[in-house]
């Protein structure tokens, strides 16, 4: 949902490796939640979700506190935060996300915490907190974060 009464589209890709793209949302309806959750379609390999502001909330977009709760609820293996405003600091916030990830690792997921290089594009996203990944249709995602 985008606000209280506007239904927006999300996308679920893949059979072997599952990717969910939920941008420009303020909440996820229960039916959608179940379809993309670990108990529904199976654990997501990658969740792409917006996170407009670092603090507070917004009527039309998820902000970091709600985004992190959504990530915990859906329990993906990796999450990509997109759609942030200028108040996010690359190094500081990546450190905070890495610490947050360590605290929730027991849930079987990790939050992605590297910045997507400016020259790279994924779904036309320019600003994103992301681990560098390589997609292989037969193997799924390969973590390349150590090869920066």
Q: Which residues, 6+ apart, have CB-to-CB distance to 13 below 8 Å?
A: 19, 20, 21
**In-domain check, residue 4:** no
Q: Quote the number of domains for the chain.
A: 1
Tell me which residue of 59, 37, 61, 57 sits closest to 47, measured CA to CA.
Answer: 37
**In-domain check, residue 126:** yes
**In-domain check, residue 51:** yes
Q: Is the distance from CB of 113 to CB of 131 less than 8 angstroms?
A: yes
Q: Which residues, 6+ apart, have CB-to-CB distance to 78 below 8 Å?
A: 45, 46, 47, 109, 110, 111, 112, 131, 133, 141
Claim: this prediction has a pTM higher than 0.85: no
Could you report the per-residue pLDDT of 115-125, keeping only the tens digit for each? 444 333 333 33
Could you report the per-residue pLDDT of 43-71, keeping only the tens digit for each? 888 889 888 888 877 777 789 999 988 88
**In-domain check, residue 23:** yes
Q: Look up the domain containing 104 and give its range.
A: 11-147
């Amino acid at each position: 949902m985008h606000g209280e009464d506007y239904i927006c589209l999300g996308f679920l890709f893949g059979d072997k490796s599952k990717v969910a793209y939920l941008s420009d949302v303020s909440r996820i309806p229960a039916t959608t939640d179940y379809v993309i959750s670990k108990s529904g379609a199976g654990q997501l390999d990658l969740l792409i979700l917006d996170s407009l502001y670092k603090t507070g909330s917004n009527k039309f977009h998820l902000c970091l506190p709600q985004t992190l709760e959504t990530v915990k609820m859906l329990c993906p293996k990796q999450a990509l935060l997109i759609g942030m405003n200028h108040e996010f600091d690359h190094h500081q916030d990546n450190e905070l996300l890495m610490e947050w990830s360590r605290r929730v690792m027991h849930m079987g997921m990790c939050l992605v915490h590297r910045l997507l290089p400016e020259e790279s594009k994924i779904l036309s996203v320019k600003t994103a907190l992301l681990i560098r990944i390589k997609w292989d249709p037969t193997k799924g995602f390969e973590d390349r974060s150590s090869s920066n």
